[in-house]
Amino acid sequence: MKKAPCIAAIVLILAGAATPSSAFLGGNPAADAPITPETAGRGGLVAARSVVRITCSGRGPSGTGFLHKSGRVITAAHVVTDCPDPAVVGVENRPIKVRKITKDPDLDLALMALETPLKAEALPLGATDRLPIGLQVSTWGFPGGYGGSAPLLSVGYLSGVEYHKTQSGKSVREWVVNAAFNLGNSGGPLIDIANGEVIGIVSSKLSPMPPIVENALETLSKSTGGVVHSVTLPDGRKEKVSEGRVIALVLRYLHDQAQLVIGKVVPVGDVRAFLVSQGIDP
């Protein structure tokens, strides 16, 4: 993700098959945790199967996405930027190649067309983003370090609104949410627990870094002096890296894992407008 997290409540769910009243995630329903509207909200049964992990060839997991009724997968644009040969992996744990990606960097939204249809029920988009502060919400996703096939549930509240200027100069509105957004949750759906509708897309977690610290890390990552280490990349290739680069990597990793109490979300109104601009009925 782009920034850093926040914790309200996290419920870990393992993986599975649905029944009209409840669902279990995993191969052994008797041993796994049940999902019901009472425990996970009205969108829980659908989200547990329609939310997917997004991977990048040679780089491993990148983020989260979810199935739209058009058959496409919606995610955050930064999740699939500089992502070689992206694929989506659902609860069946089989990667599906991405045929085409359309992005809006200003809104941090992306739409992925798949080579093979995803066998899951789509999550519905809410019709309005005029929502009250204090609304209870949830998100499902694949935070960094988690290797399960089913998405994890996090619960929180709609806390406020913020505006920021993008690199192109456009003013963009984001919702501020008190929930556990971690590295890897970007692109996941923010769901109104009461009705099961998607009301936004997870964009970032907040962990501000002063410019002087950012510049110091950038300098370290470009240094060539000191002890040289040999590392094995996710694709198996070997690479020589300087001591400064190793330090910068470790510090950025620790920064990404920092636990704060604010996350950012793209409102559903912008999501609907993005889909319409691509000729897709929201």
Nearest to 93 by CA among 69, 61, 46: 61
End-to-end alpha carbon distance in the chain = 25
The CATH number of domain 9-206+261-277, selected from 3.30.70.920, 2.40.10.120, 1.10.1060.10, 2.130.10.10: 2.40.10.120
Residue type, 56: C
Q: Are strands 228-232 and 198-205 parallel, antiparallel or unpaired?
A: unpaired
* CA angle at 152 for the pair 147 and 157, rounded to the nearest 5°: 145
Domain positions in the chain are 9-206+261-277, 211-256
Alpha carbon of 232 to those of 76, 180, 236, 239: distances in Å?
28, 31, 6, 6
For the chain, 282 residues long, give each residue's pLDDT as a single digit of tens.
544 333 233 222 223 333 333 444 544 333 466 777 777 888 888 999 999 999 998 776 789 999 999 999 999 999 999 898 999 998 888 899 999 999 999 999 999 999 999 989 999 999 988 899 999 999 999 987 788 888 999 889 999 888 888 878 888 888 888 877 777 899 999 999 999 999 999 987 555 556 676 677 677 777 777 777 776 766 677 777 776 677 767 666 665 555 554 578 889 999 999 999 999 999
Cβ pair 43, 51 in contact under 8 A:
no
DSSP 3-state of 176: strand
Question: Rounded distance, CA 125 to CA 60, Å?
Answer: 29
